[in-house]
Amino acid sequence: MSVTGVVVAEREEKLRQVERVVGSDLLHGSESLCKLLRYLAEHSIDHPGAAVKEYQIATELFKRPDDFDPRLDATVRVQTGRLRSKLAEYYAGVGTKDPWIIEIPKGAYSLIFYPRALAPAPDLPTPASSDIAASAGPQVRTSRYHPWLISVMVLSTITVLLVAALVTLLLNRSGAKRLVKTDPADPPAALAFLWNDFVDTPEEPWVIFSNAEFAGRPETGMHYFNPSADRGLPILDHYTGVGEVLGIHELDRVFASLHHGLRVKRGRLLSLDDAKNNDLIFVGSPSENLSLREIPTTRDFVFRSVEKGPRKGDLSVVNVHPGQGEENFYISTQRLPLTEDYAVIGLMPGLNPARWVMLLAGLTTIGTQAAVEYVSRPNTAEDLVRRIGGPESGKIAPFECVLRVKVTQGVPVQAELVAVHLRH
């Protein structure tokens, strides 16, 4: 076969290996990772040694605008990290006998193809001495040096085989070490199922945290801004609760385990375009996360102020369609320190039906913290997934639920689902 034929055959083998990985269960349903793998593979095969730029991948593959700034948008880095982990997981499992190993070096946007083992040299027939003499023809001077040439060829062949065997051994050893180091622990199935629609896309979801409007100054006393009584006073909108801060930390930890990133924005800066074009995770209730008042969220469990009675003005969760054994409304304890709170967890389509909204909101900041922890901890997430149908249902469906939260010394210590409604 000609040199060109060898190169073409090797290219086809590498592309077939890429399709083996793409067709595996690990990448099934992850269109963005499959596209990235094919993109990097074609570039690495057709332009060996030439690195792809992050900007190039962002604009050509992920269709980012020309003013793409990698400092503000980590899509390429996040998706490459996810693909690197998936490749390590693949070769540690179903791909242990594949003829080619594919790796993404740390800090690079390119693929490296390693042959798992070199093919054995073909058995060549040993020519008889008469054949050698016949091939030599009348050139008697050449036959004088023939034994020397044979010795050189034999030694060269042995040297090449030894070097090849050593290289293969080193590659396999180093590849095994890399697989051990880069193969991350699989995230719990419940968390992967619950957050799948937020991570199975190149875009990072926005976490929108509450920042209520206050009047006054910290030095002299602040209170919630009252449009009628505080007209003309400057608004302070750069404060948020302890639960929101701790909740964002929990979400960041979960998404890191799912090999995906997050973007964070305070509620008052959320635009209509943001809401239409991104998956959103709201942390905090509509009483403080004011942007929630313009975004359709829960329909069965709604935050409302009590209109009359001794708790008039206090925030509650109203159960619009109470089921059997459910309360008509839920409200936290009146006395301080707080000993019981309630929170709402809801998943629903956004303004753009192709996008998702997750609401994690408590009556107080402590309830908000508990709601985030409930969808971030493996044991409680598993309980929630079981109550809404679980992975057996195939794909997660919109739902709304209420948590009862036990509080001790300002910390949520226990939470339980007291109402779960599925939306169809």
**Domains in the chain: boundaries:** 3-119+179-184, 190-422
Pairing of strands 340-349, 399-408: antiparallel
Asked if 257 and 187 touch (Cβ cutoff 8 Å), the reply is: yes
Q: What is the pTM of this model?
A: 0.59
Q: How far apart are CA 343 and CA 370, in angstroms?
A: 8
Give the pLDDT confidence score for residue 117 in this predicted structure. 67
Give the integer Cα–Cα distance in Å for 91 and 266: 41
- Residue 332 has, within 13 A of its CA and on its CB side, a CA count of 27
Q: Which residues of 310-349 are buried (b: 16+ CB within 10 A; e: fewer)?
A: eeeeebbbbbeeeeeeeeeebbbeeeeebeebbbbbbbbe
Q: 65 vs 60, 80, 360, CA distance in Å?
A: 9, 19, 32
CA-based radius of gyration for the chain = 31
Q: What is the amino acid identity at position 151?
A: S
**Residue 294 dihedral angles phi and psi, to the nearest 5°:** -110, 0
3-state SS, 204-265, equals: CCEEEECCCCEEEECCCEEEECCCCCCCCCCCECCCCCHHHHHHHHHHHHHHHHCCCCCEEE
- Residue 6 is predicted with a pLDDT of 53
Beta strand 301-305 with 221-224: parallel, antiparallel or unpaired?
unpaired
Amino acid, single-letter form, for residue 415: A
- Please choose, from the candidates 282, 286, 413, the residue with its C-alpha nearest in 3D space to the C-alpha of residue 348: 282
User: In b/e form, how buried is each residue of 274-290, taking b as 16+ CB within 10 angstroms?
Assistant: bbeebbbbbbbbbbbbb
Return the C-alpha torsion angle 191, 264, 203, 382, nearest 10. 10
Burial class (CB in 10 A: 0-12, 13-18, 19+), 366: buried
pLDDT tens by residue, 28-87: 778 888 999 999 988 888 887 777 888 899 899 988 888 888 777 778 888 888 888 889
**pLDDT lower than 70: segments of the chain:** 1-7, 117-186, 290-291, 293-294, 391-394
CB 86 within 8 A of CB 26: yes
Query: Residues 106-125: pLDDT tens digits?
Result: 878 888 888 876 544 444 44
As given in the structure block, the two tokens for residue 187 are 């995230």
Cα separation, 386 vs 306, in Å, equals 33
Number of C-alpha atoms within 13 angstroms, CB side, residue 257? 17
